[in-house]
Every structure is written in structure tokens, then in C-alpha cells.
Amino acid sequence: MKIGIFGGSFNPPHNGHVNSLTTVQKKMGFDQIHIIPNSQNPLKIQTEAPAPEHRIEMARLAFSTYGKAFQVDDCELKRGGKSYTIDTIKELRKTHESKDLFLIIGADNFENLSAWKDYKKILEEVNLVVTTRPGYQIPESENEWPDYLNGLVGESDFGSLELTTGRSIEFITLDDLDVSSSELRKKLRVGRPVEKYLPLSVESYIKANKIYRPTNEKITDYKKFTEFCAQVVFDKKGIAVRAFDLVKMGTTTDFTLIASGTSTRHASSMAENLTMAVKEEFNVLPQGVEGVDEGRWVVVDYGALIVHLFYDFVRQEYNLEELWTAGSEIKVKDSKI
């Protein structure tokens, strides 16, 4: 039995996932591929997500026409909490040998693998299949191997590596499809066309079940909500906290909040604190969070409110406030600049 393992948030599953897995399957010929929606990605700030049953169903729909090797596996959702791939691998290892297990990841995850829990153990317990993904490189020569592979590569051949752990890494080049779930969620929320990126069955399911709605019904007064967020950011020592009501401007965002931190770490930690405080007060998670890894410009998306948290130095470069002067400024505690 040759088994593929493909994990992700699948929030929602899209043609990038389908393209990846069908191409990999042509090359690898797995007997089974476990498509595993995670419960919670330990490396991402939690965002608003449809109920697990919806993600399971969407994943089923996305892969339903590709044969019975493609199976959606709910083990991580059943386990709950943070989903660590190593735990899922340990489960599969109870019934399969390491040589038969292949973890399929995109180049983004390959670049970042050393941030995963027990990644060295992962490289002992399973083989990897790494696919291309727009915006990320797969290594083309020895000097492009990620640092964490130092000392682990035995033989290398064009397109595959034998590791000293006894496992291998196979690189597969896809006909790249530039799509991500986070981009799609944004498009869906503002009603932009998505048919290029989503399997039709998934798109219909999303419409029928009213998933990815534009604003959050739990927030009844976005102005007050904006003021609450401004206060949190101010309490976390945000600099030059300013908020704008953009309703008159007719943009897709009604409110915006901007502040900066003295360092990239400060900007990221303000975002983390903000999402925790909002969760506690309103029981609401953001619809998306971007840039938190780098902390130069972190965007926290609450639907009708978008929060921009900058490393101050970067804020000066963009001068976003200039775009909002046609709106009206909301008085918040620290609006001096």
C-alpha cells in the first residue's frame, strides 16, 4: 500500500489543491490519499472558519470525481485542538510502514518545515512529496536546499533526494495555479467571480449554505467595535492610533483603523493581542490576518473593519491615511500624529 497524506485548512478547498493532488497522483500512483482538514493550524492566528462539517463536505465535493483513492479523513478534526502533522503521522504509522507513507506539501510549507513540531521526526517517519506553488521556489540545486536539511541529504538526483533518515523527497512541478484560500475568501465575501479557482460543486455548496458572508452578524455596531479595537491597540502601546469612518466613500470597507509599533515584533504582538481581546469580548475571530510572520504591515480583517498595524518605519512609506481623508476621522484616544 502506497499512501499519500495531504493536510490543510481547506477553507475552502480550491483548484490549486485539486491541481496539485491530481498531478501528484498521476506521478505517484497512490493506493490511497488521505485528505485531512486540520482542526487548527498551530502556525496561524485563528480566523473565522465555517463549521468543520462544512470543510469536510467541501473537501469531499472537491475531490469526489477523481476516484476512490482520494479519501477525506477527519482524524485531525476528531482529535481537535492544534493539529500537529507528527501526531497524524504517528496514527498512520500504527498500520503502515514509513517507506509507504508520503506527505504531500506545497513549496510554501517546504520552505517553512523547520517551524513544524518535530520536523526532524517527520523526516524520519515519512517521505515527502513537494510541489511547486506560485511565489515559492523549489530547490534546483544543492545550494538552494533549505538549511534544515544540512547533513540530512545522502544521494541527490534530478528531482529527488535520498535522506540519511532512509526517507526521500520528491519534487513535482505543477502547471502552477496562483490561488490561495485566503484570497478566495476575500473574493467570495465581496461577491467577486471565483469560478476560475473553485470547483463548481464547492462554489454551489458555499452559496447554498451561505458560507463566507461579507460582515459579521455578531457585531451590531461597527463604529463602537472600531473604538473598542482602537482602545486595545492603544493599551498595547500602539503609536498614532487613528480610525476612519469610510461609509461615505463607498469602499468595500466601512471602517479602518491604523496604528504602528516600534518594531516588527510589536506590530505582530498587537495583532495577536487584538484578536484575543476581540474573541473574548465579542466571540468573533477575524476573517483573515496577513503579514503577522513578518510584522512589517499586519492586516487584520474583521469584514466591515480592516485594521492595519505597521512597523512605524514602514507606515511612513505607504502613508495610507492620505487615502482616507475623504472619510471622517473617528476620535480615538491617541489620534495625535
| Minimum CB distance to ligand ATP smaller for 181 or for 260 | 181
Smallest separation (angstroms) from ligand ATP to the CB of 22: 11
Rounded CA-CA distance 162/123 in Å is 11
- The C-alpha cell of 266 is what? 510589536
Rounded CA-CA distance 40/60 in Å is 19
| Minimum CB distance to ligand ATP smaller for 58 or for 306 | 58
- The C-alpha cell of 311 is what? 512597523
Rounded CA-CA distance 291/300 in Å is 9
Residue pair 161/155 in contact by the 8 Å Cβ criterion: yes
Rounded CA-CA distance 146/127 in Å is 16
Smallest separation (angstroms) from ligand ATP to the CB of 175: 10
Rounded CA-CA distance 223/243 in Å is 9
Residue nearest to ligand ATP (CB): 106
- The C-alpha cell of 51 is what? 463549521
Count of CB atoms situated within 10 Å of the CB of 240:
15
166: left (phi over 0), alpha (psi -120 to 50) or beta: left
| Minimum CB distance to ligand ATP smaller for 127 or for 260 | 127
| Minimum CB distance to ligand ATP smaller for 137 or for 316 | 137
Smallest separation (angstroms) from ligand ATP to the CB of 180: 3
The amino acid at residue 107 is A
| Minimum CB distance to ligand ATP smaller for 11 or for 39 | 11
Residue pair 317/331 in contact by the 8 Å Cβ criterion: no
| Minimum CB distance to ligand ATP smaller for 87 or for 245 | 87
Which residues form the interface with ligand ATP (CB under 6 A)?
Answer: 8-11, 16-17, 20, 105-106, 108-109, 131, 133, 174, 177, 179-182
Smallest separation (angstroms) from ligand ATP to the CB of 269: 21
Smallest separation (angstroms) from ligand ATP to the CB of 324: 27
Smallest separation (angstroms) from ligand ATP to the CB of 57: 15
